[in-house]
A = this chain, B = another copy of it.
Amino acid sequence: MEQMPNMRLTTQRQIILEELGKVTSHPTANEVYDMVRKRLPRIGLGTVYRNLELMADTGVILKLEVGGTQKRFDATVTPHYHIRCSKCGKVDDVHIEVQQQINQRAQNASNYKILGHHIEFSGICYDCQNEEDRQAAIN
């Protein structure tokens, strides 16, 4: 794990990062807690929150502030976009090219110093589409 000065390499940190790296599901803090607890049964939820926050602040992971009530986390830090299913809330990556030119446009159109952007698509995932079709067949 890349570190800041005064940031210790603890077992908890290593395992949180390892477990997050294993999945592509953009888990919530609580889901990470459940994953990590299988290997470290006595870890506290506060520790998970503190370390996810810390790793997001130092750029080791990404904190996704997408729709829904909970924050989600992503071990892939290269820029990419996301889609969230309006039915079930699942979040997936969307592999389209990054729209670099819109940062400049936003710079021209506002009095902010632009740092970046994120695109969140909304839609219905494959499973929920099938679910819809099944319901339609019944009615």
Which A residues are closer than 8 A to B by beta carbons?
65-68, 81, 83, 85-86, 92, 94-97, 99, 102-103, 105-106, 109-126, 129
The complex is assembled from copies of this chain, and their number is 2
Min CB distance A98 to B, Å, is 11
Min CB distance A25 to B, Å, is 15
Min CB distance A29 to B, Å, is 13
Interface majority SS (helix, strand, loop, mixed), chain A: mixed
**23 residue pairs from A and B, CB less than 8 Å apart:** A65-B65, A65-B67, A65-B68, A85-B112, A92-B112, A94-B106, A99-B99, A99-B102, A103-B121, A110-B121, A110-B123, A111-B125, A113-B123, A114-B121, A114-B122, A114-B123, A115-B122, A116-B121, A116-B123, A117-B120, A117-B122, A118-B119, A119-B119
